[in-house]
Amino acid sequence: MEIAFQNVMETLVFNKLHNMLHILDCCHCEKCQKDIAAYTLNSLPSKYVVTHQGELYSRAEALKLQYETDITTALLRSAKIVKDHPRH
């Protein structure tokens, strides 16, 4: 069986960013989205899990409930940073 490590927080942040993008008051280009994701991930704890098929989903759901508010807050803060200091 293939065993891999994955930082579940990455998936959660990217999904949340995608869902919130329309309400974020900043540039929506790919570069800025990745900057926002990077700032956000740096401000949140990494949550590595060992993935087996199917298992990741349930772990991700549990962590999503736990970190939903933190992720939202961090994304809003990161969007403001990117808006104030765009790299292009």
- 2 token code pair: 């293939």
Q: How far is the CB of 66 from Zn ion (least distance, A)?
A: 31
Comparing CB distances to Zn ion, the nearer of 28 and 52 is: 28
- 67 token code pair: 């970190």
- 69 token code pair: 């508010």
Q: How far is the CB of 70 from Zn ion (least distance, A)?
A: 25
Q: Is 81 in the site for Zn ion (CB under 5 A)?
A: no
Number of residues that bind Zn ion (CB under 5 A): 3
Name residue 51's beta-bridge partners.
4
Binding map of Zn ion across residues 15-34, x = CB under 5 A, - = no contact: ------------x-x--x--
Contact in structure between 40 and 13 (CB atoms under 8 Å): yes
The kind and range of the H/E element at 42 are helix 30-43
Q: Which residues bind Zn ion (CB under 5 A)?
A: 27, 29, 32
